Amino acid sequence: MTRTFDVAVVGATGSVGEALLQLLEEREFPVATLHLLASGESAGTSLSFRGKSRRVGALESFDFASARLVFFAAAESVTRAHVGAARAAGCAVIDLTAALPSQQAPRLVADANPEQLSALSSPYCVTSPSAPSVAVATVLAVLRPYIEVQRATITACMAVSSRGRKGVTELARQTTELLNARALEPRLFDRQIAFNLLAQVDTPDASGHGVLEKRLAGELKEVLAAPQLRVSATCVQVPVFYGDSISLSLQCRDAVDLERVCAALRTASTLEYVEADDYPTVVGDAVGQDVPYVGRVRGGQDDLAELNLWIASDNVRKGAASNAVQLGELLIKHYL
Amino acid sequence: MTRTFDVAVVGATGSVGEALLQLLEEREFPVATLHLLASGESAGTSLSFRGKSRRVGALESFDFASARLVFFAAAESVTRAHVGAARAAGCAVIDLTAALPSQQAPRLVADANPEQLSALSSPYCVTSPSAPSVAVATVLAVLRPYIEVQRATITACMAVSSRGRKGVTELARQTTELLNARALEPRLFDRQIAFNLLAQVDTPDASGHGVLEKRLAGELKEVLAAPQLRVSATCVQVPVFYGDSISLSLQCRDAVDLERVCAALRTASTLEYVEADDYPTVVGDAVGQDVPYVGRVRGGQDDLAELNLWIASDNVRKGAASNAVQLGELLIKHYL
């Protein structure tokens, strides 16, 4: 008989929470009781799981002793406020908000560094990295046997859904206002996002690096176990509803064998390779999929050790929910 | 008394042609007679210049002996078909379509390598580089005294107006269809551009590099007189009407003195520097301006010799028309 586990999803009503539910169902995750949790107004609403309507409970009054495995998918501040109680109750934790330092909750990408899971000790606590990190790490893990990457220069063009449902609503609202030639007062974003690109997605530090840009660099080094890897990261908000588009330029130690690289990408089960007569996009390709789409694979114009790629990846599903559920499966397999 | 010159604009009815007319007027270019030229259906229409309506003549029947200076701003194929006649008639030529090789028409950015004009011989013929090249070269020229760039990694997010008025119309049409939940049949672009990013802007060669990506690399090396410069270029079509947004990561020979770099950008007259508490965008900042906007200036997270910048630049006005008119002024000053 299959063992089942009581699972809690914190932030169940958000877009990532919704994708988590969908994936727990699709992948037949061994759920005994599912606790859907949210704070504030969202508690008390209902969501569907396995064909049944389930009430969303109030996070504030939840007793974590009723759960064996907890996904934290609300805001980072919500994780900070409640992760202690979850760990004290002996729950295994999968944090999608990077609220805990690596020492307490290592960054894990199931399709890149699953072996790192073996270093965990109880209470089991892991972090599912940011969406662009998951996409890039998944691709680089496939290429690892063929190239030694010394530097990764990344421009991540991020969908408005990286700001949750509010981002989606705001892009739609702004676009409608502009097409109807009405005056625009931006909300949520600090200026017009419709038909515009915003050069930063959060608040930069004194050196000018944004929070996500620093996460991207740190997470890639950790997940790829490559502390010496150099990472230049630029995160941009683009007028796209779902799906991150990532321009990735790699400098390798040696000349890149493009045929081997393409063959490796073509046969990898963890991504979808798009041949050179086509190219991947978020709309139509990556959105709704559990793997990143990779294309525009080309060497350098003047450097044999350069490799350029374009990645399109569903930021909500692949970048967040799918990796988190895979990590849940691994935790169960190894520890629970 | 100011000398004046008979000027012809080939492709006068296009968006770049229109911007050229505007700039010739605004900058009080010493025009005697202005010949507005177009091929096909556009001939016979009228445009306004210096408050008067001017008829657009048929390019096919134009006698280039009536012009002293010709701007080629239609398609590359149109330049190819007619530039020989213009040169044979002794016209000075400013080509915005890169139809001629560098040996015949060197790439010149007025705010980057004006000194190269001294190497010209009659018939004077110069190329105004692609819009992203003009923007990037203008910025790098300002930084040249302070950093020695060894590699430039560029992701150029290009507005649909890089495809002319048709691109603008198509983005508006697609967006309206989608917001009204109607089925979409893409035109002009090979797939949905509304709320999507297209990973290439033209047809790649056998190595995967697009036409514009190769131009960008070649033009930067030529304009900056840096044949050893390594350039990784990725050109992307984004759902923005006007203005290119460029993510630029530079690797320099030595550690970058960020204070000096920022001071140089702040005082440069050829660009607009946006301080670290803000960032430049195409909508609201760069569009309609004759200089690129530069911001998000930051070093590397793990490399003192790295410099990252974000450039927002009007692709039609700054990237094409403004540089071409500046080149016209230089040609007049030195040769005509």
Each residue's pLDDT tens digit, B162-176: 999 999 999 999 999
pLDDT of residue B241: 98
Q: Could you tell me the CATH number of the domain that includes residue B267? A: 3.30.360.10
Among all residues of chain A, which has the CA nearest to that of B229?
Answer: A302
Please say whether the beta carbons of A327 and A29 come within 8 A. no
Closest in A175, A233, A245 to B197, CB measured: A245
Q: How far does the CA of residue B46 sit from the closest CA of chain A (Å)? A: 27
Q: How far does the CA of residue A9 sit from the closest CA of chain B (Å)? A: 30
pLDDT of residue A40: 82
Q: Could you tell me the CATH number of the domain that includes residue B85? A: 3.40.50.720
Among all residues of chain A, which has the CA nearest to that of B232?
Answer: A300
Among all residues of chain A, which has the CA nearest to that of B299?
Answer: A207
Do residues B122 and B15 both lie within one domain? yes
Residues of A with Cβ-Cβ distance to B280 under 8 angstroms: 199
Closest in A155, A198, A297 to B281, CB measured: A198
- The residue of B151, B155, B242, B259 whose CB has the most chain A CBs within 10 angstroms, and thus the best one to mutate to test that interface, is B155
DSSP state of B119: G
pTM for the whole structure: 0.97
* Nearest-angstrom CA–CA distance, A31 and A24: 8
**Torsion, CA A132, CA B131, CA A277, CA A295, rounded to 10:** -10
Please give the residue range of the domain that contains residue A165: 133-315
Q: Return per-residue pLDDT of chain B as tens, 336 residues.
A: 589 999 999 999 999 999 999 999 999 999 999 999 998 888 999 999 999 999 999 999 999 999 999 999 999 999 999 999 999 999 999 999 999 999 999 999 999 999 999 889 888 999 999 999 999 999 999 999 999 999 999 999 999 999 999 999 999 999 999 999 998 999 999 999 999 999 999 999 999 999 999 999 999 999 999 999 999 999 999 999 999 999 999 999 999 999 999 999 999 999 999 999 999 999 999 999 999 999 999 999 999 999 999 999 999 998 899 999 999 999 999 988
Do residues A60 and A87 both lie within one domain? yes
Do residues B154 and B265 both lie within one domain? yes
* Nearest-angstrom CA–CA distance, B52 and B125: 30
pLDDT of residue B123: 86
Do residues B94 and B206 both lie within one domain? no
Closest in B200, B240, B310 to A279, CB measured: B200
Do residues A124 and A147 both lie within one domain? no
Q: Pairing state of beta strands B244-252 and B149-158? A: antiparallel
Cβ partners under 8 Å of residue A115, min gap 6: none
Residue A2 has pLDDT above 90, yes or no: no
- The residue of B173, B235, B261, B283 whose CB has the most chain A CBs within 10 angstroms, and thus the best one to mutate to test that interface, is B283
Query: CA distances (Å), B216 to each of A157, B152, B205, B213, in order?
Result: 21, 11, 15, 5
Total domains present in chain B: 2
Cβ partners under 8 Å of residue A158, min gap 6: A131, A132, A201, A235, A236, A237, A238, A244, A315
- Supply the mean pLDDT for chain A: 96
CB atoms within 10 A of CB B69: 23
Do residues A150 and A264 both lie within one domain? yes
Contact across the interface for B191 and A281, Cβ inside 8 Å: yes
Question: DSSP characters for A262-289?
Answer: HHHHHH-SSSEE--TTS---IIIIITT-
pLDDT of residue A297: 98
* Nearest-angstrom CA–CA distance, B109 and B116: 9
- The residue of A154, A230, A272, A302 whose CB has the most chain B CBs within 10 angstroms, and thus the best one to mutate to test that interface, is A302
Do residues A206 and A242 both lie within one domain? yes
And the tokens for A65?
């002793």
pLDDT of residue B40: 83
Q: How far does the CA of residue A314 sit from the closest CA of chain B (Å)? A: 12
* Nearest-angstrom CA–CA distance, A240 and A243: 7
Contact across the interface for B240 and A197, Cβ inside 8 Å: yes
Do residues B188 and B290 both lie within one domain? yes
> How many CB pairs below 8 Å do chains A and B form together?
174
Which stretches of chain A are DSSP H helices? 15-26, 76-88, 131-143, 165-179, 211-223, 258-267, 323-334
Burial class (CB in 10 A: 0-12, 13-18, 19+), A71: buried
- The residue of A174, A178, A197 whose CB has the most chain B CBs within 10 angstroms, and thus the best one to mutate to test that interface, is A197
Residues of B with Cβ-Cβ distance to A172 under 8 angstroms: 179
Do residues A53 and A160 both lie within one domain? no
Do residues B173 and B282 both lie within one domain? yes
Among all residues of chain B, which has the CA nearest to that of A211?
Answer: B301
Q: Please, which pLDDT band fits residue A1 given cuts at 50, 70 and 90?
A: low
Do residues B306 and B159 both lie within one domain? yes
Query: Strand, coil or helix: what is B58?
Result: strand
**Torsion, CA B170, CA B172, CA B177, CA B179, rounded to 10:** 150
Do residues A144 and A86 both lie within one domain? no
Residues of A with Cβ-Cβ distance to B272 under 8 angstroms: none
Residues of A with Cβ-Cβ distance to B231 under 8 angstroms: 301-302
pLDDT of residue B1: 58
